[in-house]
Amino acid sequence: MRDLRQLRREKFAPLTYLLLTFALFLTMILCICVGSVSISVSDTLTTIWNSVWKLPVPESIAKNIILNVRLPRVLCVTLAGAALSLCGTAMQGLLRNPLADGSTMGVSSGAALGAVTAMATGFTLPGSSYGGIMITAMAFAFGSLILILSLAYALDRSLSTSSIILIGVIFTMFISSIISLIITFASDHTRSLSFWTLGSFSGVNYEQAALLLLALVLCGGILFRFSPELNAFAIGEDNARHVGVNVKRVKLIILITVSVLIGVCVSISGTISFVGLVMPHIARMLVGPNHKRLLPASLFSGAIFLLLADLISRTILSPIELSIGVITSLVGAVAFVIIFYQTRKAR
Amino acid sequence: MSKKLVSLFLALLIVFSMTASLAEGSGITVTDMYGREVTLTEPATRIVVMQPSDCEILCAIGCEDAIVGRGQYVDYPASILEVPVVQSGENTNIEEILALNPQVVLMNDMSQSEEQVKQLEDNGVKVVVSKAADIEGVYFAIRMIGKLMGKGDAAEAVIADMQATFDEIKANSKNEGKSVYFEVSPLQWGLWTAGKGTFMDELAEMCGLTNAFADLNDWASISEEQVLARDPDYIVTITMYYGEGPTPVEEIQGRKGWGELKAVKNGDILNAESNAISRPGPRLKDAAIELYNFINGIKTEEKPAA
Amino acid sequence: MIRVPDVIRALEGNNVTVRYDRVVAVDALSFHLDEGEWLMLAGPNGAGKSTLIEAIAQGIPYTGSIRWKGRDLKTLKASDLAQRIGVLSQKNHVGYAYTVEEVVGLGRYAWKAGLFSGRDDRGKDEVEKALEITGLTALRHASMLTLSGGEMQRVFLAQVFAQDPQVLILDEPANHLDMNYQQQIFSLILKWLKEPGRAVLSVVHDLSLARRYGTHAVLLDRGKCVSQGLISEVMTPENLRQVYGMDVYAWMREMLSQWQE
C-alpha cells in the first residue's frame, strides 16, 4: 500500500535537458521551414547555414523571406513563449495558486496600457523606436503591480493569495476599459484592440529578438536563482517565513522581475494569454513541482507551445494570418480543462 | 366685407387641401440597400448621417444644409465638423438623434442594433440603410439618396461625372500584367490588405493592374512573407502620416527584406489619400485619378483630360 | 541600580501586545524562557496562544519586544532568525505534489541562504536524521498530496528538526497524531531539549501532556496572563478554575478512573 504512493520521479538529468533542447530545436527548424509561402527544406537550411557561417547566400525570395521574416519571428516567438511560461511558473509558485499568471494578476494589462499610452502620446526614446513603448510598458507593469499589492495590503496585511488574485481580476477589467477608451480616441496612433487582447508577432525584427533575449537572460537568471525560495512559497508562505525566507523582499524581487519580463513581451507581441497559465501545469506533470527542475522544463515547453501556436496561426488559413491569441486560447482552454479534470480525478 | 372674408377663407382652404393631396400623390418611396421600402411624404430636409461616405454623397448633390447630425467619423468636407455628433465609438445616442428631430437617419447595417432602429421608427424617424460594397453599390446609394432628398438630377450628374472619369481611365489603361498590393494596415500594426470585392480592387482593375491579393475576399490580415513572395510591382499604402517619424513610404522602404521588392527598388510606392480610396462615395473618382496618375507617372497637378 | 542578568534568556518577551483591528489578542504580555526549559502556553480557545506564536515567528506585527539571548528578534535577518528559532505552525497545507524529502529539506534553507549559496555540509545528515527520528524514511519519496494529517504533521516536525534551531516554537505538535506518535514525538522533543543551549515553547491543549512534559507554564485568558512560573505553581485548581470555569482536577481524575483495572 505504502509503495503505491512512492513517486518514482526520475532525476532531471542532463539527458532530460538534452531531450528538451533537441525537441525545441526541432520545433524551431519546423517553424522556419513551414510557412505561408512554401520554401523547400533544403533551401531553407542552406540559407540559414550559409548566413550563420557568413558564406555567400544566393539572392532569392526564399533568402529574403527566411532571413527577414521567419527567422526573427521564430526567435521572438521562442523567447516570448519561454518568458511568459517562466512568469506563469514563478507566479504560480510564489502565490501558491495554480491559476496565477501575468494576465490574472493584471500585470499584462498594465503593461498593455503602458504601451498604448506611449503610442497614443507618441512617447519615444532617442535611438530606438521601440524603446519608449517598452520602457513605458515595464513602468506601467511595475506600477500596476505596486497598485495591486498596496490594494491587497490594505485589504489584508499578509498579502494573501486570494486577495491579490481578486484585485488582479478587478484591475484587469478596469485597465481593459481604459485601453479601449484610449483606442477609441486615438485609434490612428495605437495598434488595434485585437493586438492588445489577442497578441501578434507580425513584423517582429532582430532588434526585438535581442531585447527579448536580454530580458530573458537577466530575469530568467534571477528567477532560477530564487528557485529554493519559490519552492518555499509554493509549500506555503508561512512555512517559507518559518524556514528563514525573507518573505516580503523575495516576493517583491520576484514580482518586479516578472513584471519587467511581461512588460518586454507585451510591448513586442501584445497580451498572449494561456501560455503562462497552462504551460507550467504541463511542465509540472513532466518533472514535478520542484522549481529547480520546473523552471527549465516550463521554459522549454512554453517556447515549444508558442512556436506551434504561431505556426498554426501563420499557416492554417494562408495567406490570411490569424492572431496568435486565437490559437493559444483555443488550445490552452481545452488543455486547461483536461488538466483540471485530471488533477481533480487524481485526488 | 364678411363675404369677402369667407371667400378668402374658402380659397385658402382649397389651396391647403390641394397642396396636401399633391404631396400625398408625389410621396417618395425608396428601396434601401437592405431591401426595405421607406416612404416619405416629401423630400427630407432634416437628416442625420452616420457614415462618412453618405455624408460626402449628400454634400456632392448639394444637400449639406439638410444634415443636422453626424456619425463620429464623418469629417469631410471640413465644414461638416460644425454639425453635432450623435455617436461615440460603437454607441449611437438615440436620444440625441430624436432631439435633433430629423426625418431620416442614414446608416450602415452594422453599427446599429435592430432595437435601436425600431426605437427610431417608433418615434417617426425613417431609417434608411446604405451599404455600398462596390462601385455599382455606390451608384445605387447616390441614386437612393438623391431620390430621398428630391435631388434626382443632381445625383445622376454626380454618377455621370464618376462614370466618365472611370471610363476615361479604363480607356487609357491596358493590362500589362503589373500587380499592385494595397496596404490597409502597416506592418507594425499587423498587415491588412484589400482583396476582391473592395473598391481598391476595382480601382486597380480600372487602371490596368492586377490586385496581388485578388485571391482573398474583402479585407484580410496577411502574412508578411506572402507580400515578399508575391513581389508586387506597385505598393499603395493608405496609412495616414501625422508629421512625425518616417513617412509611410519611408517606413515601407526601411523594412528588412522589403528592399528586394520590385515596387521598392523602382520607388513605386504611393501613399494614397486614405479617405478618398476607402470610402464608397463620390471621391472614389479622385482616388482613381490619383492611382492612374501614380501609375502613369503624371504629376498630380496635371490632371488627365477628364 | 545596574541589572545584571544572571541567566541569558533563551527567549524573553516584554510587554508584547498584538492587536487585530480593535481586538487586543495579546495584551502586554511578558514572559521568559531559559535554556533547558519547556514552557507550555495554556489557556482556552481564543486566549491568544497561537497569536503569540505568530508574533514570535515575526509573522504578524506587534508592539513590545521579543529577544533571543538579548537580541531583539525584529533586528535579526530572516535566515538568522530561522537558524535560531524553529516554528511548527498549526496550519500546514501543501498545494503541489512536493515529496516528503523536498519539504523536510527545505528546513535547511536558512543555512544556505545568501546570494552565493554557501555549502551546507551538515544538511544531508540533518535531513536524514530528521526523517529517521520522525519515522518518515520509508515515505521520503511520497507526494505530500497523498499523506494523512498525522503524516503531514510529522513531515513539518521533521522539517523543523532539520532546521536545527536552538529554540523550538511548537503550536499543537500533537495535532492529528495517533497516541503512539504523540508519545514518540514528545519523547523526541524531550530528548532534543537535553542538548545544551536549547529551549522549547509550545501550545498544548491537552493539560495532561502539558503537565507531563512542561517545566514552566504561562496561563493565558483572553490575551492576558493569569499566572506564570513553574508548571506545578501555575496549574493549580484555583488558576484552572478561573480560566476554564470548571474543576479541571476533578475532571482529570474522573477521566483517569476509567482506566483502573
Residues A319-332: tens digit of each pLDDT: 788 888 888 888 87
Q: pLDDT per residue over B90-138, tens digit each? A: 677 888 888 889 999 998 876 567 788 888 888 888 899 888 888 999 9
- A71-94 helix and A291-315 helix, angle to the nearest 10 degrees: 140
- What is the pLDDT confidence band of residue A338, given thresholds at 50, 70 and 90? confident
Tell me the pLDDT band of A253, cut-offs 50, 70 and 90: very high
Which domains are present in chain C? 9-93+165-257 (3.40.50.300)
Q: Work out the percent of chain A whose per-residue pLDDT is above 90.
A: 30
CA–CA separation, C37 and B37 (whole Å): 98
Considering the domain A72-346, what is its CATH architecture?
Answer: Orthogonal Bundle (1.10)
Query: Residue A334: what pLDDT?
Result: 82
Cβ-Cβ contacts under 8 Å for A265 (sequence gap 6 or more): A80, A83, A84, A111, A212, A215, A272
Predicted pLDDT at C67:
92
What average pLDDT does the segment A172-179 reach? 87
A318/B188 CB distance under 8 A:
no
From A319, A107, A86, select the one nearest A202 (Cα to Cα). A319
Q: What is the mean pLDDT of residues A182-201?
A: 72
CB contact under 8 A, A246 and C96: no
CA distance C88 to C97: 20
Residue with cell 480610396: B277
E strands, chain A, are none
**Which residues fall within 8 angstroms of residue B295, CB to CB, at 6 or more apart?**
B173, B178, B207, B208, B209, B234
Count the neighbouring beta carbons within 10 Å of the beta carbon of residue C250.
11
pLDDT surpasses 80 at A74: yes
- Read off the pLDDT of each residue in A309-317 and give the average, rounded to a whole number: 89
Contact residues, C window 21-40, toward A, CB-based 8 Å cutoff: none
pLDDT of residue A77: 96
Grid cell locating B157: 450628374
**Whether A235 contacts chain C with CB within 8 A:** yes
Contacts of C117 in chain A (CB under 8 A): 228
| Cβ distance of B216 and A191 shorter than 8 Å | no
pLDDT tens sequence across A272-309: 888 898 899 888 888 889 999 999 999 999 999 999 99
User: Count of H helices and E strands in chain C?
Assistant: 11, 10
A 210-249: CB under 8 A from B: none
What number is the average pLDDT over the span B220-231?
90
Distance CA B36, CA B23 (A): 22
CA atoms in the 13 A half-sphere facing the CB of A53: 6
Which residues of chain A have a CB within 8 Å of the CB of B222?
Answer: 319-321
Question: Residue type at A54?
Answer: K
Query: CB–CB of B268/B249 below 8 Å?
Result: no
**Predicted confidence (pLDDT) at residue A149 exceeds the cutoff of 80:** no
pLDDT at C7 over 80: no
Q: Which residues pair with A319 in a beta bridge?
A: none
Pairwise CA distance, residues C144 & C156, whole Å: 11
Q: Which chains touch A (3 or more CB pairs under 8 A)?
A: B, C
**Predicted-complex ipTM score:** 0.88
Residue to test with chain A: of C76, C106, C167, C170, most A Cβ within 10 A: C106
CB-count burial class (<10 Å; 0-12, 13-18, 19+) for C176: middle
pLDDT digits (tens, 9 = 90+) for A62-73: 788 888 888 999
Q: From chain B, pick out residues whose CB is under 8 angstroms from the CB of A202.
A: 187, 190-191, 221, 223-224
A4 band by pLDDT with thresholds 50, 70 and 90 = very low
pLDDT for A343 beyond 70: no
- CA-nearest residue of chain B to A189? B242
What mean pLDDT comes out for the span B192-205? 90
Please report which confidence band the pLDDT of residue B20 belongs to, taking 50, 70 and 90 as the band edges: very low
Gap from B190 CA to chain A (nearest CA, Å): 6
Give the residue among C101, C128, C99, C126 at the shortest CA–CA distance from C112.
Answer: C126
Lowest mean pLDDT among A213-227, B145-159, C103-117: C103-117
CB atoms within 10 A of CB A16: 17
Q: What distance in Å separates the CA atoms of residue A310 and residue A68, rounded to the nearest whole number? A: 17
**β-bridge pairing B28-31 and C85-88:** unpaired
C59-76: pLDDT as tens digits? 889 999 999 988 899 999
Give residue B304's pLDDT band: very low, low, confident or very high (50, 70, 90): very low
pLDDT band at B198 (very low <50, low <70, confident <90, very high): confident
Angle, helix B52-60 to helix B152-172, in steps of 10 degrees: 100
Does B touch A (3+ CB pairs < 8 Å)?
yes
Nearest to A202 among B190, B213, B229 (CB): B190
* A12: pLDDT strictly greater than 60: no
How far is B218 from chain A, CA to nearest CA, in Å?
Answer: 12
Least confident of A342-346, B245-249, B254-258: A342-346
Mean pLDDT score, A222-242: 92
Provide the mean pLDDT of chain B.
Answer: 84
Taking only residues 146 to 185 of chain C, the set having a beta carbon closer than 8 angstroms to any beta carbon of chain A reads 146, 156, 159-160, 163
Check B245 against A321: CB less than 8 A apart.
no
Collect all residues of chain C within an 8 Å Cβ-Cβ radius of residue A247.
78
Interface check A8 vs C, CB under 8 A: yes
| Confidence at B305, pLDDT banded by 50, 70, 90 | very low
User: Are C and A close enough to touch, i.e. 3+ CB pairs under 8 angstroms?
Assistant: yes
pLDDT at B174 exceeding the cut of 90: no
Question: To which residue does cell 506572402 refer?
Answer: B226
State residue C113's pLDDT score: 54
The predicted-structure confidence for A255-275, as pLDDT tens digits, reads as follows 889 989 999 999 888 888 888
- Rounded distance, CA B84 to CA A310, Å? 45
Pick from B207, B141, B220, B217: nearest CA to B180: B207
The predicted pLDDT at position B122 comes to 87
Say whether the B–C interface has 3 or more Cβ pairs within 8 Å: no
Average pLDDT over residues C126-151: 89
Q: Which are the contacts of A334, defined by CB distance < 8 A and separation ≥ 6?
A: none
| C157 has pLDDT over 60 | yes
- Please provide the average confidence, as pLDDT, over all residues in chain A: 83
> What is the pTM for the complete model shown?
0.81
Q: Find, in chain C, the residue whose alpha carbon is nearest to that of A250.
A: C78
| pLDDT, average across residues C222-251 | 91
Name the residue of chain A whose CA is nearest to B195's CA. Answer: A320
What is the model's pLDDT at position B306? 40
The confidence band for B31, taking pLDDT boundaries of 50, 70 and 90, is confident
Averaged pLDDT for residues C16-45 = 91
Question: Per the CB < 8 Å rule, is B260 touching A59?
Answer: yes
Contact A8 C141 (CB under 8 A): yes
* Structural domains of chain B, ranges and CATH numbers in brackets: 28-157 (3.40.50.1980), 174-295 (3.40.50.1980)
